[in-house]
Chains A and B, each alone.
Chain A
Amino acid sequence: MLSLKQISKYYSSGGAKTYVLNRVDLDVDQGEFVSIMGPSGSGKSTLLNIIGMLDQPSEGYQYFLNEPVHQLKDKQRSALYKQNIGFVFQAYHLIDELTVYENIETPLLYQDVKSAERKALVADILDRFNIVGKKDLFPEQLSGGQQQLVGIARALISKPKLILADEPTGNLNSKQGEEIMELFKKLNKEDGVTVIQVTHSEKNAQYGSRIINLLDGKIDSSIIL
């Protein structure tokens, strides 16, 4: 599904290059559930951002669904991720001014989905996540776990092939965390959505099918569970 070849990301400061990622090779297949682990500063989030095309590598080749991402223009890149990737953040990043319903609806607006279809899709997902009763609430009126649930619903609304989750349970208590992880597992198993998550927690990493350990910008180990 996606393939990174010799991907590097560095910042030059005063002539010296500081590598965040150093010649990383990574292939992820359709239907995998990959957990990226590693200490702070090892480059996990950067790697995830590059995969999600929010950030661009300094060097290397990147393919997504057989498209050479490194050759695409800004517009094409954003069209590509807009249709295929859903993001889930540690800090949820819901839009405070929008209700639950509107937050979930937003990606569809940007994809020019028709009003009637939008309504059906949002209603469907609200139902599936059991948050119909909360649809008119604003994010600040929800608990952290509920907010993340909305975050995931929003990521899923446009039926992405890939979900990228940056420490999705980082701000949640363990019970809420477990529920979210169960949800990811279910999505992966039942809907065949590819999931890549960054996590600190050994326990959460176990939900996946593969664990990649990063250290100082390099892949230290890759374990298939």
Chain B
Amino acid sequence: MLKNYIKTAWRNLWKGRVFNLLNLVGLAVAIACCTLIFLTVFYEFTYDRFHTKLDNIYQIYTVSNRAEGAEVTSSVPEPLTPALKAEYPAVKYMTRSADAGALIKYGNKELDENLHFVDEDFLKMFTFPLIEGNKNNVLSGLNNVVITQATAKALFGEEPALNKTVLLNINNVQQPFIVSGILEDISRHSSIEFDLLVRFEHYPNYAANINAWENRTHIAMIEFNNGYDPASFTSQLTPFVKKHFAPSIEILKKDGAKPNEKGDIFWLDIAPFSNNHFATNLGGVEGNPVNKTYPVSLIVIGCFILIIACINFINLSVARGFTRSREVGVRKTLGASKGQLLIQFWIETIMVCLASMVVGLLLCMALINQFKAIFKSRISLSMLLDPVTLFGIIILFLLVTAIAGFYPALMMVRYKTVAVLKGNTASTKPGKLRNTLLVVQFSLSTLLIICTIITWQQINYLQNKPLGYNKTEVLSIPVSGGLIGEKALKLMRNELKNHAEVASVTGAYMNMGRGNDGSSRSSILGFNFGDKEIRTHIQRVDYDYLKTLDIKLLEGREFNPDFAGDSTAVIINETMARQLGTKNVLGSFVPMYDSVAKVQVVGIVKDYNFRSLHEDIAPLTLTMDKHYEINYIFVKVKPGNLVASYDAIKKSWNRQYPNTEFEGSWINENTERQYLNERRLSGIFVSGAVIAIVISCIGLLAISIMIVLQRTKEIGIRKVLGSSVGGIVLLLSMDFVKLVLLASVIAFPIAWWLMNNWLQSFAYRITIQWWVFALATLLAILLAFITISFQSVKAALANPVKSLRSE
């Protein structure tokens, strides 16, 4: 019986091969996309899962209920960890964590590695298996260092590494350390990434901050006792906060902070480490968290594509069912039961689904590398063999075949035997269901088109908005690899003085945008001024900063080596001047540092967007204060040949620092890098929209084939009665155009709401314009019309005598 079913199914599929091929292609494309998408999502959601005690680990963070809103930061003061451990027995383990770059030296080998400062508990909490060493005491010695296998190999080769003495250069101080443990290499699936582990006591300024509850310098993670419910931990911390953070709370109060509904101004809270990979709102976590919007929008788009493909499948199968009605009738007279017929048609569905699956996975293999490149995804096809994904795929497959196969099969089985044998099915009205499904399909497609246009507009706007400084001709060079910024700047300045194409050179603490080094810094300083607290971003600059970046000076002057007092002078931006509020800001003295003398404002610059356009321009103070390092060197070149200038500057850098990589990049590259997430989203939308449209149009094409078949007689009669070709094409297309129009109208409010929400995350944003909706609709209608036209024109041109005779 089964053999018979498969045989007939195969012959039937072959007979309707054009139709089934359309069906198969649509489904295969959808399966390929969904596989890639869901693998990516799976990858993102399974970050850090290898830690066996993941569910018991939390990160602690602080919330300040400031006047302008709650400020969340995960930076905590040094004494917090020992105090919490001592005072709360529920805290089983706790570790502080901070990272830095460090040079590790053994013999004459030197490596620039990523160093983590942690407490002893770190390896007891997190699952980083040791190959050599004992996890209970590897970090017991103050000068122990734990290294990864890769580092061990790079440094020691085949030599045993354990108990060797290495030299570590941390923050320009070289110290000997003993290798006390070797870890397995860290999974790429880990938020916590490092090459070396040393005790937190080596963290710069550790001794100075050991009792400083006001200086928040690092993050900290807690592991609770097994079985402890951490839900109430936050409220238990209230007395702890009162005891240790009183001065901070006082300052906040003065600053206008209001108590929340529970009466707190400042409190400690915990966030599960399992959510670490998505914790973009904690103000600093391990690794590079991603905004949950992206995996979620991926899921949504994956589901959209799957829904559209299923709808296609249903519509196509139902449409094709019409041609099979006679067979159903005959089989019924031969004694087939409904169940038997149902199984027969279902087997056909499963065969198409299986074929689609195979083609889809092949497609997936072909596309995976491009996909990884575009979406910065680190998935691999071997993930498909993971039991969880495998199970998911089987479930999804069964679901699709059930939904997409069962309904059409049921439809066919329900045909009235007698009517069918007389050949009467074709006259049935196009189903409401089919129309509904088409509307859903095109709603989703239009929605994605609108999203695509709006994200594209916004990105375009971000790129072209003048930021208030020169971003095209200025090169930003990160000073990394243990170099001292000030020295490097001096060297480069001397070196580049003789280059004709270099206009000016300066240095700064913060980068513009995000450079090749990938890091971002910001420093905010608060001080009391008159009766209020002023908060300002601090940018340490060097001479010629304004000149190099073409920042407009409104009043006063730039820092100048001729003025001796400039090391204690500041230049502020307009917003800062407004915040200070006094008349004659220029020349006035401001008590920026509580301890030292007041600093004089020597210049006011026009506001410029020193942060990404997600945020408004904040108060900014430029200073030459030596406490802040120079981390970036900015070089402005003369317009003309930028490529040649870049090469020349790179060459001079390499002459100065043959061992340190040149990571310079143009500032406009850096600012664009700030919008990588947006680009990624827009990429997702574009691909989603294209695929949705393609699959929808495949479905529409097949349905139009069906419709034309069904209405051949009508078309013939109309032609005999004198209808023009255009009239017939319009007649056949109008029904669909109406549906697409309706679909667009449904998509409008959803798209507007979604995109409006998204735009809210930008301080600088476009307004959504009506023509975007019109354009998207027009596009959808046009595509639908073209698709249908393939068939309708052919039908309209056909000889009516033929179609009428065939009746």
Which residues from chain A sit less than 8 Å from chain B, CB to CB?
A: 49, 52, 54-55, 75, 78, 81-83, 87, 89, 93-98, 102, 106-107, 109-111, 154, 158
Please name all residues of chain A whose beta carbon is closer than 8 Å to the beta carbon of B330 when the two chains form the complex: 93-95
A191 → B minimal CB distance (Å): 20
Q: B8-16, B193-201, B730-738, B761-769: which one contacts chain A?
A: B8-16
Query: How far apart are the CA atoms of A102 and B327 in the complex, in Å?
Result: 14
Give the bracket for the number of chain B residues in contact with chain A.
20 to 34
26 contacts between A and B (CB under 8 A): A49-B418, A54-B332, A54-B418, A54-B421, A55-B417, A75-B337, A78-B335, A81-B335, A82-B334, A83-B335, A87-B333, A87-B334, A89-B421, A94-B330, A95-B330, A96-B15, A96-B327, A97-B8, A102-B4, A106-B331, A106-B334, A107-B334, A109-B4, A110-B334, A110-B340, A158-B335
Instruction: Knowing A93-B329, A96-B15, A97-B12 are in contact, say whether A111-B418 is a contact too (CB < 8 A).
Output: no
CB contact list, B396-423 vs A, under 8 A = 417-418, 421
Please name all residues of chain A whose beta carbon is closer than 8 Å to the beta carbon of B326 when the two chains form the complex: 93
Instruction: Knowing A49-B418, A93-B326, A95-B327 are in contact, say whether A82-B335 is a contact too (CB < 8 A).
Output: yes
Per-residue CB contact flags for chain B residues 308-335 toward chain A (1 = under 8 Å, else 0) read 0000000000000000001101111111
Q: Cβ of B1 < 8 Å from any Cβ of A?
A: yes
Please name all residues of chain B whose beta carbon is closer than 8 Å to the beta carbon of A87 when the two chains form the complex: 333-334
Q: Cβ of B336 < 8 Å from any Cβ of A?
A: yes
A128 → B minimal CB distance (Å): 19
Residue in A55, A81, A93, A98 with the greatest tally of chain B CB atoms within 10 Å: A93
Query: How far apart are the CA atoms of A52 and B327 in the complex, in Å?
Result: 18
Please name all residues of chain A whose beta carbon is closer than 8 Å to the beta carbon of B1 when the two chains form the complex: 109
Query: How far apart are the CA atoms of A87 and B336 in the complex, in Å?
Result: 14
A90 → B minimal CB distance (Å): 10
Instruction: Knowing A78-B335, A78-B337 are in contact, say whether A93-B421 is a contact too (CB < 8 A).
Output: yes
Query: How far apart are the CA atoms of A83 and B335 in the complex, in Å?
Result: 8
Q: Are A95 and B331 in contact (CB under 8 A)?
A: yes
Q: Are B12 and A110 in contact (CB under 8 A)?
A: no
A164 and chain B: residue at smallest CB distance: B333
Given A49-B418, A110-B334, 14 more A-B residue pairs with CB atoms under 8 Å apart are: A54-B333, A54-B417, A54-B418, A55-B418, A75-B337, A78-B337, A83-B335, A89-B421, A93-B326, A96-B327, A97-B15, A98-B8, A109-B4, A110-B340
Q: Are A110 and B327 in contact (CB under 8 A)?
A: no
A22 → B minimal CB distance (Å): 19
Q: Are B335 and A107 in contact (CB under 8 A)?
A: yes
B467 → A minimal CB distance (Å): 68
A104 → B minimal CB distance (Å): 10
Q: Are B334 and A154 in contact (CB under 8 A)?
A: yes
Query: How far apart are the CA atoms of A98 and B15 in the complex, in Å?
Result: 12
Please name all residues of chain A whose beta carbon is closer than 8 Å to the beta carbon of B332 when the two chains form the complex: 54, 78
Please name all residues of chain B whose beta carbon is closer than 8 Å to the beta carbon of A75 when the two chains form the complex: 337
> Pick the contact of A110 from B8, B15, B336, B421 — CB < 8 Å?
B336
Query: How far apart are the CA atoms of A2 and B92 in the complex, in Å?
Result: 88
Please name all residues of chain A whose beta carbon is closer than 8 Å to the beta carbon of B331 when the two chains form the complex: 95, 106, 110
B419 → A minimal CB distance (Å): 9
Please name all residues of chain B whose beta carbon is closer than 8 Å to the beta carbon of A94 when the two chains form the complex: 330
Q: Which 6 A-B pairs have the closest CB atoms?
A: A82-B335, A110-B335, A97-B11, A107-B334, A93-B330, A87-B333
Query: How far apart are the CA atoms of A95 and B421 in the complex, in Å?
Result: 12
A46 and chain B: residue at smallest CB distance: B418
A89 and chain B: residue at smallest CB distance: B421
Please name all residues of chain B whose beta carbon is closer than 8 Å to the beta carbon of A98 when the two chains form the complex: 8, 11
Please name all residues of chain A whose beta carbon is closer than 8 Å to the beta carbon of B421 when the two chains form the complex: 54, 89, 93
Query: How far apart are the CA atoms of A49 and B416 in the complex, in Å?
Result: 12
Please name all residues of chain B whose beta carbon is closer than 8 Å to the beta carbon of A78 when the two chains form the complex: 332, 335, 337
Please name all residues of chain A whose beta carbon is closer than 8 Å to the beta carbon of B11 when the two chains form the complex: 97-98
Query: How far apart are the CA atoms of A15 and B573 in the complex, in Å?
Result: 87
Query: How far apart are the CA atoms of A75 and B418 in the complex, in Å?
Result: 17
Please name all residues of chain A whose beta carbon is closer than 8 Å to the beta carbon of B417 when the two chains form the complex: 54-55
B549 → A minimal CB distance (Å): 75
Please name all residues of chain A whose beta carbon is closer than 8 Å to the beta carbon of B7 when the two chains form the complex: 102
A110 and chain B: residue at smallest CB distance: B335
A85 → B minimal CB distance (Å): 9
Query: How far apart are the CA atoms of A25 and B1 in the complex, in Å?
Result: 41
Please name all residues of chain A whose beta carbon is closer than 8 Å to the beta carbon of B8 when the two chains form the complex: 95, 97-98, 102
CB contact list, B410-453 vs A, under 8 A = 417-418, 421
Please name all residues of chain A whose beta carbon is closer than 8 Å to the beta carbon of B334 when the two chains form the complex: 82, 87, 106-107, 110, 154
Query: How far apart are the CA atoms of A30 and B418 in the complex, in Å?
Result: 25
Please name all residues of chain A whose beta carbon is closer than 8 Å to the beta carbon of B337 when the two chains form the complex: 75, 78, 110
Please name all residues of chain A whose beta carbon is closer than 8 Å to the beta carbon of B418 when the two chains form the complex: 49, 54-55
Per-residue CB contact flags for chain B residues 332-373 toward chain A (1 = under 8 Å, else 0) read 111111001000000000000000000000000000000000
A61 → B minimal CB distance (Å): 20
Please name all residues of chain B whose beta carbon is closer than 8 Å to the beta carbon of A54 when the two chains form the complex: 332-333, 417-418, 421
Please name all residues of chain A whose beta carbon is closer than 8 Å to the beta carbon of B340 when the two chains form the complex: 110
Please name all residues of chain B whose beta carbon is closer than 8 Å to the beta carbon of A95 when the two chains form the complex: 8, 327, 330-331
Query: How far apart are the CA atoms of A54 and B15 in the complex, in Å?
Result: 28
Query: How far apart are the CA atoms of A95 and B418 in the complex, in Å?
Result: 16
B338 → A minimal CB distance (Å): 9
Query: How far apart are the CA atoms of A102 and B10 in the complex, in Å?
Result: 14
Query: How far apart are the CA atoms of A154 and B331 in the complex, in Å?
Result: 11
Query: How far apart are the CA atoms of A82 and B417 in the complex, in Å?
Result: 14
B7 and chain A: residue at smallest CB distance: A102
Please name all residues of chain B whose beta carbon is closer than 8 Å to the beta carbon of A52 when the two chains form the complex: 333
A151 and chain B: residue at smallest CB distance: B330
Query: How far apart are the CA atoms of A55 and B326 in the complex, in Å?
Result: 16
A138 → B minimal CB distance (Å): 9
Query: How far apart are the CA atoms of A89 and B423 in the complex, in Å?
Result: 13
Query: How far apart are the CA atoms of A94 and B4 in the complex, in Å?
Result: 16
Query: How far apart are the CA atoms of A54 and B8 in the complex, in Å?
Result: 24
Query: How far apart are the CA atoms of A82 and B335 in the complex, in Å?
Result: 5
Query: How far apart are the CA atoms of A158 and B421 in the complex, in Å?
Result: 21
A159 → B minimal CB distance (Å): 13
A78 → B minimal CB distance (Å): 7
B340 → A minimal CB distance (Å): 6
Query: How far apart are the CA atoms of A109 and B335 in the complex, in Å?
Result: 9
CB contact list, B193-252 vs A, under 8 A = none
Query: How far apart are the CA atoms of A78 and B4 in the complex, in Å?
Result: 22
Q: Are B335 and A111 in contact (CB under 8 A)?
A: yes
A171 → B minimal CB distance (Å): 14
B80 → A minimal CB distance (Å): 76
A93 and chain B: residue at smallest CB distance: B330
Query: How far apart are the CA atoms of A98 and B7 in the complex, in Å?
Result: 9
Residue in B4, B7, B326, B335 with the greatest tally of chain A CB atoms within 10 Å: B335
Query: How far apart are the CA atoms of A55 and B404 in the complex, in Å?
Result: 31
